[in-house]
Amino acid sequence: MKEIFSALNTEGKEVNVSLDDYKGQRIVLYFYPKDNTSGCTQEACDFRDNINRITTKAAVIGVSPDSVKSHIKFKENHDLNFLLISDPEHKLAEKYGVWKEKSMYGRKYMGIERSTFVLDKDGNIEKEWRKVKVKGHVDEVLEYLG
């Protein structure tokens, strides 16, 4: 069994996400900055609304530094139908190079650079999108997945 990562799921349990869990499927692993904000909600709902088209080709996993409690509320508020992973120590974000210095109104801070990765059945990065713009992004992912 090849482990991809270990983190907290929306039930507050530590999970080891492994290739065995996905039986050789590809994985769409997307990183977003914050639950229940306009762009992140739109992106999550776009994945939700297209989940049947995506899951024939890949599993979907969303990751943010928000708490498990926040993820539970986010999933409930928007009927999200895929796994969300809480990464408060940004270990996974750092592993994928999406924990970056950002700037807003002249203030610098560290945060998630909205990014999506398609992992092949061996857990290797097959395709990546950095600095994702939400509008039309799920369509780009679907087009790539074929």
Residues serving a catalytic function are: 40
CA pair distance 46, 18, nearest whole angstrom: 25
Q: Where are the beta strands (DSSP E) in the chain?
A: 3-8, 14-18, 26-31, 58-64, 83-86, 99-104, 107-112, 115-119, 125-129
With contact defined as beta carbons under 8 Å apart, do 125 and 117 qualify? yes
Cα dihedral value 41, 85, 128, 26, nearest 10: -110
With contact defined as beta carbons under 8 Å apart, do 86 and 7 qualify? yes
Side-chain half-sphere CA neighbours of 102 within 13 A: 12
Amino acid, single-letter form, for residue 63 = V
